[in-house]
Structure 1
Amino acid sequence: MKVVGVILAGGQATRMGGGDKGLLELGGVRLLNRVIGRLGPQVEAMCLNANGDPARFDGFGLPVVADTVEGFAGPLAGVLAGMDWAAGEGASHVVSAAADTPFFPRDLVEGLIAGGAGSSPVLAAVREAGRVRRQPTFGLWPVALRDDLRAALEGGLRKVVHWTERHDGREVVFVSSDAFFNVNTPEDLARAELML
């Protein structure tokens, strides 16, 4: 089993006023650097999924892969771009992480693999108010499913959970719900500073 990572940075950041949230600073360190620092030790290699001019990410030392599906197709398009890149790396699985979520677990990959790595996707989840809430931008994705995912996206599917359920998708509940806190607004960034 060879696991590589894809950092999803292809969102439009509309609630933050546009731009790349991963380039914002938290405690004097860019969010993207924080995510790279957490995911890097857990995987064999990483790429960054982002659209537009890749040169803006030159300083991060990662290959940049763009969505291959037309239009803004959401996080699944980024997962597919990561899967395509992972196939070229000879990887069996790709783990996705969001570029705006600086506190995700340092044992994310280990936990996802323990949850049933094989031919089914596995999503991270947390328990809040007695119910399980899946984190659709954090998952373990079998590269073998990339053609199926491409066909689903080209057919208009956009909801992560709708696709994972088609493939006996599983979830792994992580203890801390704050671990998946993501920075969507200026207020979220201020809260993240306090959490830091």
Structure 2
Amino acid sequence: MSQRIDAVILAGGMARRMGGNDKGLVELNGQPMIKHAIDRIKPQVKEILINANRNQNHYAEFGYKVLSDEDSGYLGPLAGMITALGHTLADYLLVVPCDCPLLPLDLVPRMLAAIDTNNAELAVASDGKREQPVVLLMKPELRASMKAFLDAGERKIDFWYAKHQCVVCDFSDQPNAFVNVNTPEQKQQLSEAIAK
């Protein structure tokens, strides 16, 4: 691949629905949730960054650079993306959440193809029913625009990408690819699905 693609795994949230447990470190079938995400995207990218605002030492044990939000106060996924965009030299940055253990193994090539075909600045994944706003591939030069959006008090990422040349990349052939874990019940269901 001639273009350099890096990735950031977002693990910076409060995980209120998981009883405050750090979602990326919650075990799913014997492995921390983030390890599943790492295993899915590692073959597709050059470098992985982890965005975490607590338990940084635990996250560092996975062997990747751990970045805390530059803006404090748990401002959501945009803050993590802005931080990572400032630490990559790649042509594109892939963004994924830490709690999606079934990410597509062809996520990057398909999103890159969608960007190229549509002459877009970024691609956002869709499971066929809805867009996955924290699964995107984008050019690092979008950082200034994203930071201005956050600094203006905005939080909703889909409002931000609507301002740009954005293409939706359809993964409806893999409907479970973006199943994420927000509650202990969802974790149990996913654990059973993976074990089958």
Q: Distance in 2 between matches of 1:65 and 1:119?
A: 27
Q: Which runs of 5+ in 1 are unaligned?
A: none
1:138 aligned onto 2:140: no
- Matched residue of 1:96: which SS? strand
Q: Distance in 1 between matches of 2:189 and 2:104?
A: 18
1:21 aligned onto 2:33: no
State the aligned residue count. Answer: 189
Residue 85 of structure 1 corresponds to which residue in structure 2?
A: 87
Residue 145 of structure 2 corresponds to which residue in structure 1?
A: 148
Instruction: Label 1:66 to 1:47 Cα distance change in 2 as closer, same or farther (>3 A).
Output: same
1:180 aligned onto 2:181: no
Amino acid corresponding to residue 127 of structure 1 in structure 2: G
Residue 192 of structure 1 corresponds to which residue in structure 2?
A: 190
1:67-82 pair list within 5 angstroms: 67-82=69-84
- Matched residue of 2:144: which SS? helix
Amino acid corresponding to residue 155 of structure 1 in structure 2: A
- Matched residue of 1:60: which SS? coil
Tell me the CA shift for residue 31 of structure 1.
1.0
Residue 32 of structure 1 corresponds to which residue in structure 2?
A: 34
Tell me the CA shift for residue 64 of structure 1.
0.6
CA contact (8 A) 2:120 2:166 kept: no
Tell me the CA shift for residue 7 of structure 1.
0.2
Aligned Cα RMSD in Å?
1.3
Amino acid corresponding to residue 188 of structure 1 in structure 2: Q
- Matched residue of 2:180: which SS? coil
1:105 aligned onto 2:119: no
Residue 6 of structure 1 corresponds to which residue in structure 2?
A: 8
Residue 116 of structure 1 corresponds to which residue in structure 2?
A: 115
Q: Distance in 2 between matches of 1:191 and 1:66?
A: 31
Tell me the CA shift for residue 53 of structure 1.
4.6
Q: Which runs of 4+ in 1 moved over 3 A?
A: none
1:43 aligned onto 2:40: no
Residue 126 of structure 2 corresponds to which residue in structure 1?
A: 125
Q: Distance in 1 between matches of 2:54 and 2:192?
A: 32
Residue 61 of structure 2 corresponds to which residue in structure 1?
A: 59
Q: Distance in 1 between matches of 2:54 and 2:101?
A: 23
CA contact (8 A) 1:21 1:31 kept: yes
Amino acid corresponding to residue 91 of structure 2 in structure 1: S
- Matched residue of 1:192: which SS? helix
Q: Normalized against structure 1, the TM-score is what?
A: 0.92
Amino acid corresponding to residue 14 of structure 2 in structure 1: Q
Amino acid corresponding to residue 179 of structure 1 in structure 2: A
Amino acid corresponding to residue 100 of structure 1 in structure 2: D
Q: Which runs of 5+ in 2 are unaligned?
A: none
Q: Normalized against structure 2, the TM-score is what?
A: 0.92
Q: Distance in 1 between matches of 2:57 and 2:168?
A: 35
Amino acid corresponding to residue 176 of structure 1 in structure 2: Q
